[in-house]
Amino acid sequence: MTGNTNEAGIQTGVKPPLIRMNLYLDKMGIVLVVILTFIIFAVLDSQFLTWTNILNMIRQTAINGILAAGMTFVILTGGIDLSVGAIVALSGVCGVYFSLHMPTPLAVLLGVCVGALAGFVNGFLTAKTRLPSIIVTLGSMTYLRGIAYVVTGGYPLVLVSESFKKIGMGYLGPVPIPIVIMLLVYVVFFVILRYTVFGRNVYMIGGNKEAAYLTGIKVVPRLVWVYTISGICSAVAGIILAARLFSGQPNVGTGYELDASAAVVLGGTSLAGGMGTIIGSLFGAIFMGALSNGLTLMSVPYYWQLIIKGLVIILAIYIDHLRQRNARG
């Protein structure tokens, strides 16, 4: 009996040649889309493939890429985290606030801890109450944004620390620090999902939560950790964004949850859970970044970019619907 395995190496059953081809396209399709997108924009604008623009594009992509990495864990379990944008704002605000009163490393650590705590609460409420994650995180999206406004009094906090600013604007050799952070996140998460028991448990919970529980997997602690990971990633993205803006702003991050979810789904992760890869999410984020960058270079007005991005999100969900239907068939 032959079968197919996901990134965690879990056997998923017999796969005829046509389905194996579909699975291959699921994994490689986003790579081909990214390559095609690069070619199209390179033809339309000669500045697109310059080294300066590529670095700038990937640096801008780093925030959504880190959010998508954390969101991948959540969606793999069949959930969704709508609070990531609010955690970006709150963690950035707290990081800047702490930096005014203590050394930068400690301020950054505490800012990340704020995001981890927010993610922990999301995971605990989702796992313990068994409420749909979309309901829990919709509520947390609102109250976390409110806390960010309370901390700042509704006004941006100016970032003074030069070492903090380097997190968003500095370089490690020729590579911007945000890109280095994003790549480190993906390397660590790739290892976790592919080679650890926790990673295999994430896939099994997403595939069938009840079956995972019956096999002895501690579903509640695993889910809490999954949402905590998403919170940590959101906090890291918030710290980077604050460092780039030279301020902690309570209104940033609006709509980031949609961009991150779109990147994950475009990368081949199923909204139903149990299927997907972390590398696919990276390429999904790169596609979203290339799309925004290319449209900006072509002087497409921002409101038209919103329309195009919205259509891309709908397309991503439709593709996932087709993927699930093919899997059932």
Burial of 187 (0-12, 13-18, 19+ CB in 10 A): exposed
Mean pLDDT throughout 14-34?
A: 63
pLDDT at 317: 81
**Domain residue extents for the chain:** 26-319
For residue 54, pLDDT over 90 is answered with: yes
Q: Which residues pair with 247 in a beta bridge?
A: 158
For residues 70 and 287, give the distance between their C-alpha atoms in angstroms, rounded to a whole number: 17
For residue 19, pLDDT over 60 is answered with: no
Q: Is the pTM of this model over 0.85?
A: yes
Confidence label for 224 from pLDDT (cuts 50, 70 and 90):
very high
Collapsed DSSP state (helix, strand, coil) of residue 176: strand
Mean pLDDT throughout 277-296?
A: 94
Confidence label for 325 from pLDDT (cuts 50, 70 and 90):
confident
pLDDT at 5: 46
Alpha-helical regions (H) of 100-218? 104-129, 133-152, 162-169, 177-195, 197-207, 209-214
293, 60 Cβ separation under 8 angstroms: yes
What are the angstrom distances between the C-alpha of 74 and each of 107, 119, 136? Answer: 27, 11, 13
Confidence label for 25 from pLDDT (cuts 50, 70 and 90):
low
Confidence label for 314 from pLDDT (cuts 50, 70 and 90):
confident
- CATH number for the domain running over 26-319: 1.10.3470
> What tens digit of pLDDT does each residue of 142-199 get?
999 999 999 999 899 999 999 999 999 999 999 999 999 999 999 999 999 999 999 9
Nearest to 160 by CA among 242, 236, 240: 242
DSSP 174: T
113, 54 Cβ separation under 8 angstroms: no
Mean pLDDT of the chain: 89
Mean pLDDT throughout 255-278?
A: 91
Instruction: Match 């779109």 to its residue by tokens.
Output: 262
> What tens digit of pLDDT does each residue of 55-107 get?
999 999 999 999 999 999 999 999 999 999 999 999 999 999 999 999 999 99
pLDDT at 236: 98
Residue 313: count of CB within 10 angstroms of its CB:
18
> What tens digit of pLDDT does each residue of 32-47 get?
889 999 999 999 988 9
φ, ψ for residue 11 (rounded to 5)? -70, 135
